[in-house]
Copies of this chain bind each other. A is one copy, B any other.
Amino acid sequence: MPKKRITSQDVANLAGVSRTTVSFVLNDVKGLNIPQPTRQKVHDAANKLGYIPNAAAQALASRRTRALGLVMTRSPHYISTDAFLPQIIAGLMDVVKERKLRLLIEYVEMAHQDRAYHELARAKHIDGMILLTPRIDDNALKKLEQVDIPTVIMGEIIGTNLYSVDIDNRLAAVKAVQYLLELGHRQIACILNAPPSYSSAAARVMGYKDALISAGIPPNEKLILYADFDPQSGYDRMKSLLASQQKFTAIFIASDNIAMGAYAALHEAGMRIPEDVSVIGFDDIPWAEYGNPPLTTVRLDAQELARKACFVLTDLLNGKEVSQKRQILDTELVIRQSCTSYKHSLKGGELLQKT
Contacts and interface: CB of A to CB of B under 8 A. Distances in A.
Interface of A: 3, 6, 50, 52-57, 59-60, 65, 67, 76-77, 79-83, 85-87, 89-91, 93-94, 97, 102-107, 118-119, 122-125, 148, 230-231, 235, 257, 260-261, 263-264, 267, 286-287, 289-294, 303
A85 B261 CA distance: 21
Contact of A76 (B90, B118, B287): B90
Q: Dominant SS at the A interface?
A: helix
A86 B93 contact: no
B123 A55 contact: yes
Report how many copies the assembly holds.
2
A54 B67 CA distance: 15
A91 B77 CA distance: 10
8 shortest A-B CB distances, which residue pairs?
A56-B59, A80-B90, A52-B122, A56-B60, A264-B290, A79-B90, A76-B90, A85-B86
Contacts of A55: 59, 65, 123-125
Nearest to A97: B107
A59 B94 CA distance: 27
Contact of A292 (B94, B105, B119, B263): B263
Interface centre among A53, A55, A118 (most CB of B within 10 A): A55
Nearest to A294: B264
Nearest to A69: B102
A51 to B, nearest CB: 9
B231 A286 contact: yes
Contact of A286 (B81, B89, B293, B294): B81
